Amino acid sequence: MTQQMIDQAKSVMRKNDRGSYTVPTHGLYPFQWNWDSALCALGFAHFDEPRAWTEIETLFAHQWEDGMVPHIIFHQMDDGYFPGPDVWATGRTVPTSGITQPPVAGFAARRIFDRARDKALAASKARALLPRIHAWHQWFFANRDPKGTGLVAIIHPWESGRDNSVDWDAAFERVPTEGVQPFTRRDTSHANPAHRPTDEQYKRYIWLVQKFRSLGWDNAQLHDASPFQIVDPGFNAILIRSCVDLADLAETLGESEIATQSRAMANKAIAAMESLWSNQHGQYLCYDRAIGALVDSASIGGILAAFAPIPGARAKAISDRIEVLAKSCNYLVPSHDPTAPEFDALRYWRGPIWLIVNYMIADGLERAGRTVMADRINRDCLRLIEQSGFAEYYGAINAEACGGDAFTWTAAMVIEILSAQEIAA
Ligand code: DGY
């Protein structure tokens, strides 16, 4: 059973492998996506280590001069996706989008390095990637935290990866729709429109792209110019975890300056995360920087924060909070509270379960000693696969397969979870 599932997962990854990068899934996402790639490298590492390193190298080969690593790299033209390179107009030789995505690469590089069978290969690959990943982390704090609070803001919902989260419904209202050039969505011809963001949200996504484009994609200006500035605890937790992991990796490789700087960024951010804690909800919340207020929406972003080395009492509270969520769904962890009025069982980030997020939450809880809950989340991931195959995401009540199918990062997570179980057994 286990081996059969691993074999199926490998074949999904192979199908989406384009040689030096992997597409998230055929049709819906025909290019290289940033955090998809870094997480998919974790899966490759179990059966093809050189290929795992190549995935991350290809991503960083398209890093901008200022340090940003873009969220999409348009390696080969494909008009099945909107918005394509002509809309972004970032002026790169190989076109890319102009925003970024959750920085999981530091975490992934360290994990692949630690588990490497080919130690010499891992050392040379990691050594070359180290300054690049570090530059990306520094870019975040320089450009997305201009006042030096310790936490970074996203300036477009697509940066969080949680595109249509309830967390930014109110903030997104402040993004206008006037002046948006007419467009045709392509996502809804590949996936069920009822599982995707709404047309109204798409107009606002594109308004922000047009706004940033009008500023020449100059990151020194974009943060302050954006009407959308959200400090997402999940996003910051990923950045913190990657800084900590990069610090450890740098120490192992004798790069003490990178280690010291990474550790300092992480420590400052960990302390600042306390400002996002809500006793009332027993989890972290988003902070709307544009208006200076916490967002009263207890979604998965504040639970994903467990991926960072947060205080033990916070990790316990998050585990308790997941226990409460479990009372209103059959599978963990829903991306929004099923008892909240905004919960939308099958619509993208407004309710469904995402295996990559489950994996990161479980990993963090395990590190914090919350192994019972971590195991339960991992078991639910496998139950979802048995029930509905390698989907993009799943209904938390009935395990429906949602969004795209034959999904790379879902497959990679399954290999991760099953392989970890084998190692433990
Ligand atoms: C999409 O197109 O749905 C992505 O989430 C944006 O990168």
pLDDT digits (tens, 9 = 90+) for 151-196: 999 999 999 999 999 999 999 999 999 999 999 999 999 999 999 9
pLDDT in tens, 361-396: 999 999 999 999 999 999 999 999 999 999 999 999
Q: Does the beta carbon of 36 sit less than 6 angstroms from any atom of ligand 1?
A: no
Q: Is pLDDT above 70 for 1?
A: no
Which pLDDT score is estimated for 420?
Answer: 84
Q: Does the beta carbon of 187 sit less than 6 angstroms from any atom of ligand 1?
A: yes
Which pLDDT score is estimated for 397?
Answer: 98
Q: Is pLDDT above 80 for 262?
A: yes
Domains of the chain: total: 1
Helix (H, G, I), strand (E, B) or coil at 136: helix
- Average pLDDT rounded to a whole number, residues 4-30: 97
For residue 29, the ligand 1 atom closest to its alpha carbon is 2
pTM of the entire predicted model: 0.98
Residue 410 — very low, low, confident or very high, per pLDDT cuts 50/70/90?
very high
Chain centroid offset of residue 263 CA: 21
Calpha distance 25→372 (Å, rounded):
32
pLDDT in tens, 43-77: 999 999 999 999 999 999 999 999 999 999 999 99
Q: Does the beta carbon of 163 sit less than 6 angstroms from any atom of ligand 1?
A: yes
- Average pLDDT rounded to a whole number, residues 284-291: 98
Q: Please, which residues bridge with residue 32 across strands?
A: 73
Residue 132 — very low, low, confident or very high, per pLDDT cuts 50/70/90?
very high
Tracing tokens 């400052």 back to the chain, one arrives at 268
Q: Does the beta carbon of 400 sit less than 6 angstroms from any atom of ligand 1?
A: no
Calpha distance 195→85 (Å, rounded):
25
Structure tokens given for 218:
């100059």
Distance from the alpha carbon of residue 71 to the mean position of ligand 1, in angstroms? 9
For residue 169, the domain's CATH number is 1.50.10.10
Tracing tokens 């963990």 back to the chain, one arrives at 332
Which has the closest alpha carbon to 177: 158, 155, 199? 199
Residue 163 is among the residues annotated as catalytic for this protein = yes
Is the peptide bond preceding residue 83 cis, with omega within 30 degrees of 0? yes
Buried b (16+ CB within 10 A) or exposed e, 331-356: bbbbbbbbebeebbbbbbbbbbbbbb
* Pairing mode of beta strands 72-73, 32-33: antiparallel
Q: Does the beta carbon of 392 sit less than 6 angstroms from any atom of ligand 1?
A: no
Write phi, then psi, for 47 (nearest 5 degrees): -135, -5
For residue 97, the ligand 1 atom closest to its alpha carbon is 7
Q: Is pLDDT above 80 for 419?
A: yes
User: What amino acid is encoded at 354 in this protein?
Assistant: W
For residue 197, the ligand 1 atom closest to its alpha carbon is 3
Residue 422 — very low, low, confident or very high, per pLDDT cuts 50/70/90?
confident
Write phi, then psi, for 402 (nearest 5 degrees): -125, 160
Please tell me which residue in 163, 380, 400, 416 is annotated as part of the active site: 163
Distance from the alpha carbon of residue 28 to the mean position of ligand 1, in angstroms? 9
Mutation probe of ligand 1 site: the residue of 159, 163, 409 with most atoms within 8 A of C-beta: 163
- The residue count of the chain comes to 425
User: What amino acid is encoded at 163 in this protein?
Assistant: D
Q: Is pLDDT above 80 for 244?
A: yes
Residue 216 — very low, low, confident or very high, per pLDDT cuts 50/70/90?
very high
Q: Does the beta carbon of 107 sit less than 6 angstroms from any atom of ligand 1?
A: no
Please tell me which residue in 36, 392, 400, 405 is annotated as part of the active site: 392
Tracing tokens 């496998």 back to the chain, one arrives at 382
Q: What's the mean pLDDT when you consider all of the chain?
A: 97
Calpha distance 83→90 (Å, rounded):
12
Calpha distance 266→241 (Å, rounded):
8
For residue 205, the ligand 1 atom closest to its alpha carbon is 6
Alpha-carbon distance values, 416 to 39, 144, 221, 402 (Å): 10, 32, 39, 21
Nearest CA to ligand 1 atom 1: 158
Which residues constitute the domain of residue 409? 2-424
Calpha distance 349→319 (Å, rounded):
20
Distance from the alpha carbon of residue 370 to the mean position of ligand 1, in angstroms? 32
Residue 224 is among the residues annotated as catalytic for this protein = no
Q: Does the beta carbon of 159 sit less than 6 angstroms from any atom of ligand 1?
A: no
Nearest CA to ligand 1 atom 6: 158
- Average pLDDT rounded to a whole number, residues 342-350: 97
Which pLDDT score is estimated for 278?
Answer: 98
